[in-house]
Amino acid sequence: MRRQFLSILLIALLGFVAGGCATNPITGRSQAMMVSDAQAAQQSALAYNQVLAEAQKSRALDDDPAETARVQAIAKPLIEQAIKMRPETRSWHWDVHVLRSNEVNAWCMAGGKIAVYTGLLQKVRPTDDELAQVMGHEIAHALLSHQAEKMSRQMMQKLGVNLGVLAAGMAGYNVGSMAGLADQVATIGLQLPNSRDAEAEADSVGIEMAAKAGFNPNAAVTLWEKIMQVGGSGGPDWLSTHPNPQSRIEAMRAKAKQLMPVYEANKRP
């Protein structure tokens, strides 16, 4: 009886996972998609509006008009290329702001909500080409549905752990103290590798997008060399959510060489 119950649970879980897979239109990779892009964008819009409201209240939103104009001018051709890569994103409510923060960071939420932190601009001091690489990378995350995928994997992880604990309990095992460990192991085994894959994908798509928008792909190499100087080389590769910095630079250098003809054909005046 227990064995039959466990089999039913396993079949149900596998069916649930298989039913939530989709093929990414840009990379062709199969992704866990229990959460749709539209759902992720809806949640992102709520979070984004809250971030902007808090920044506005503390006078940390677009407080340097020249800086904001620069960031938005660089974002414009990148967004145009993003729409060419994925035409349905034309309906996204794209938005770009600069937030005053010491953190070296930038992001693009699902649905095209973009923010660049002044810490990135002031500490890294990127050229326009280098800033385009940062923003292209972040826009690529949204284009590749990485936020929806991460939310989906978290849902599947939680479901899998709960079903595993339930099944083990039905089989007569005492697993009360094992749930937390199981969740931690699942995070290391499922979430972190996916994050590294997502970063590598965003690097590749982002640098291509920037080259098509007329920004020098070699700037991706100089950008990450600057970031390494500012933030250090990071932790061990196997437990990082980002690729090893030196490996990342080498991959960027090779990709930039391939994309130079694309850049030359679209070079900005």
Residues serving a catalytic function are: 138
Q: How far apart are CA 193 and CA 141, in angstroms?
A: 15
Give CA–CA dist 240/237, Å, rounded: 5
d(CA 111, CA 91): 9
Helix axis angle, 146-170 relative to 179-186, nearest 10°?
Answer: 150
- CA neighbor of 94 nearest in space, from 82, 104, 106: 82
Q: In this structure, what are the phi and psi dihedrals at residue 33, rounded to the nearest 5 degrees?
A: -135, 65
Look at residue 195 and give its three-state secondary structure: helix
d(C-alpha 254, C-alpha 252), whole Å: 5
Side-chain half-sphere exposure of 54, counting CA atoms within 13 A: 9
Query: d(Cα 116, Cα 96) in Å, to the nearest integer?
Result: 8
Tell me how far apart the alpha carbons of residues 120 and 220 are, in angstroms, rounded to a whole number: 15
Neighbours of 86 (CB within 10 A): 17
Residue position matching structure tokens 């792909």: 217
Tokens of 197: 């894959």
Residues 6+ apart with CB under 8 A from 146: 198, 201, 202
